[in-house]
């Protein structure tokens, strides 16, 4: 991937599932730059996970196409998967393996650049790797999913609801990992339904609703438009008509 090429780009991307007359994703056009942290925000069922599955070529588009690391996600799918760190919204791991066995298995499929980084992540996320995955809580399974996505230090990370199941302390650990990855030039595509979470991590955010991208804003633009509420008490009765003349008052 060259610096001039987008890390992630979609061109009129659309998906309509068989038997449905409604698009899960419709005419999606994204242009995410290398090193950018992009939040993909929307309610459940808006099309976030469908978009991610399209980017990972787990499902085929009905129309349009997508590039990740300047590679076509369909025709060059193996190369895309090799370059991406991926976390599914519903983390599915091998329940009969211990955490250590699972991470060893993933490392054998794609050796990490620096083996110590996997150990560092495990320590920071406070994971007991000796237990079988099927015996772990949702939060601890999520931590293992995050470690396997991050440990290869990929150029592009596509993470679907990455903080789901994490307690506030572990969420902060994850935010620090994202910031550290950005300093190394990694690109993050993070889906969420939590605006405050996205504001802590991302440079820019896209809002999706009913399968359509309805807005894109930088975090600075978003903050400048935030509604501020003040409660003011008056010593004397104040006519409502006068209060309504105050700019921005509601």
Q: Which has the minimum average pLDDT: 69-83, 86-100, 213-227? A: 213-227
29-74 residue pLDDT tens: 999 999 999 999 999 899 999 999 999 999 999 999 999 999 999 9
CATH number, domain containing residue 77: 3.40.50.300
**Residue 231 resides in a domain:** yes
132-147 residue pLDDT tens: 999 999 999 999 999 9
User: Does position 247 have pLDDT exceeding 90, yes or no?
Assistant: no
**Residue 101 resides in a domain:** no
Sequence-ordered list of residues with C-beta below 8 angstroms from that of 116, at least 6 positions apart, any chain:
none
**Residue 204 resides in a domain:** yes
**Residue 1 resides in a domain:** no
Q: What is the mean pLDDT of the chain?
A: 89
Query: What is the spatial distance between Cα 127 and Cα 96, in angstroms, rounded to a whole number?
Result: 17
User: Does position 185 have pLDDT exceeding 70, yes or no?
Assistant: yes
What is the residue range of 176's domain?
Answer: 8-91+156-243
User: What is the number of domains present in the chain?
Assistant: 1
**Residue 209 resides in a domain:** yes
* pTM of the predicted protein model: 0.85
**Residue 105 resides in a domain:** no
């Amino acid at each position: 991937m060259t610096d001039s090429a987008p890390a992630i780009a979609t061109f009129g991307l659309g998906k309509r599932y068989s038997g449905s007359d409604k698009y899960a994703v419709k005419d999606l056009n994204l242009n995410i730059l290398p090193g950018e942290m992009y939040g993909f925000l929307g309610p459940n069922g808006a099309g976030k996970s469908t978009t991610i599955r399209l980017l990972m070529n787990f499902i085929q588009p009905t129309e349009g196409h997508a590039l990740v690391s300047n590679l076509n996600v369909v025709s060059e799918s193996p190369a895309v998967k090799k370059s991406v760190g991926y976390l599914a919204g519903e983390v599915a791991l091998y329940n009969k393996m211990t955490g250590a066995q699972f991470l060893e298995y993933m490392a054998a499929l794609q050796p990490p650049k620096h083996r110590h980084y996997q150990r560092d992540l495990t320590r920071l996320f406070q994971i007991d790797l000796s237990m079988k995955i099927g015996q772990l809580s949702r939060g601890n399974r999520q931590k293992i999913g995050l470690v396997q996505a991050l440990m290869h230090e990929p150029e592009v990370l596509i993470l679907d609801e990455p903080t789901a199941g994490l307690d506030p302390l572990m969420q902060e650990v994850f935010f620090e990992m994202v910031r550290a990855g950005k300093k190394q030039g990694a690109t993050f595509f993070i889906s969420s339904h939590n605006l405050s979470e996205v504001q802590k991590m991302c440079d820019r955010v896209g809002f999706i609703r009913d399968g359509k991208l309805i807005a894109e804003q930088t975090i600075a633009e978003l903050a400048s438009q935030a509604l501020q509420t003040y409660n003011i008490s008056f010593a004397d009765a104040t006519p409502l008509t006068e209060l309504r003349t105050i700019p921005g008052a509601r």
